[in-house]
Amino acid sequence: MNWESIDALAKQWVKEAGEKIRSSFDKTLNIQTKTNPNDLVTNIDKEIEQFFISKIRGVYPNHKIMGEEGFGDEFTSHEGIVWLIDPIDGTMNFIHQQRNFAISLGVYENGIGKIGLVYDVVHDELYHAIRGRGAYMNGMPLPQLNETTVKEAIIALNATWVMENKRIDHNLMIPLARDARGTRSYGTAALEMVFVATGRIDAYISLRLAPWDVSGGSVIVEELGGVVTNLRGRKLDYLGQDSLLVAKPGLHQTILRDYLKEGKW
Ligand code: 2AM
Ligand code: CA
Ligand code: CA
Ligand code: CA
């Protein structure tokens, strides 16, 4: 498989999509709700997903496509080459703030991430990696990640996970939030993952994400020595929803072992 040529096309399409999103800022958005009143989607999310799908189908009719807004294929396995697309990651931010959102794209072969692209549209920052060939921001190589301690770490997580919730014993999360140097919440999983890749933050935790949220960021952060698992320390399968812990190498192990009580729930 010629990953370089797929990567070159993907980059071109992501930039084009970014331009479309930027030029939507002065138009009226059509906003709809999905599973609940805070689960939002706009006409732009849908248009951008359809843009990618028509580009991919035009060049790679045999590749499969998994997209958040449902214009792609149905999935029971990750056999073959699969594109995972989140046309706008951080839709709520896109609507309310016109910043803090990204396009996320992953290309996987038999479940293994080969290409990851995350485009911070507003800052024109394109993060990208091809497995085994380094990770880059706007073409500049990113350095490997150093180890750090919880005490010196900035950890991104949503406040709801530290409150009583259905997905995790919040008593595990409170000491982590307390011991960390600081916590942050950006509301865009794809950008939070690349913030780990660039060292702007040290770890990111979520209790519920979908494959398209994490597929691009995983390739980028793993390429730099970062570790990506769910909160039980297991590999993600990129088929259904899962929790996520992405962190610098030593920090990942410390959080799993000392805070999340790996293996005990
Ligand atoms: P989205 O904007 O593409 O929907 C917000 O904290 C992060 O979680 C964003 O990356 C957001 O992606 C994602 N997210 C929002 N609602 C979600 C849901 N119902 N299931 C999984 N991920 C979700
Ligand atoms: Ca969404
Ligand atoms: Ca998303
Ligand atoms: Ca989205």
196 lines ligand 1 (CB under 6 A): no
Residue 68 C-alpha to ligand 3 middle, in angstroms?
7
Looking at the chain, which residues constitute the CATH 3.30.540.10 domain(s)? 3-141
pLDDT tier, 92 (very low <50, low <70, confident <90, very high otherwise): very high
- What is the per-residue pLDDT across 133-187, written as a single tens digit (0 to 9) for each? 999 999 999 999 999 999 999 999 999 999 999 999 999 999 999 999 999 999 9
* Nearest CA among 94, 97, 78 for reference residue 86: 94
The CATH homologous superfamily of the domain defined by 3-141 = Fructose-1,6-Bisphosphatase, subunit A, domain 1 (3.30.540.10)
Give the count of beta carbons closer than 10 Å to the beta carbon of residue 216: 34
Q: Distance between CA atoms of 244 and 237, rounded to whole angstroms? A: 11
Ligand 1 nearest atom to the CA of residue 40, by list position: 4
The model's pLDDT over 52-75, given as tens digits with 9 standing for 90+, comes to 999 999 999 999 999 999 999 999
Q: Which atom of ligand 1 is nearest to the CA of 101?
A: 2
Q: Which atom of ligand 1 is nearest to the CA of 39?
A: 16
Q: Which CATH number fits domain 150-259: 3.30.365.10, 3.40.50.720, 3.40.640.10, 3.40.190.80?
A: 3.40.190.80
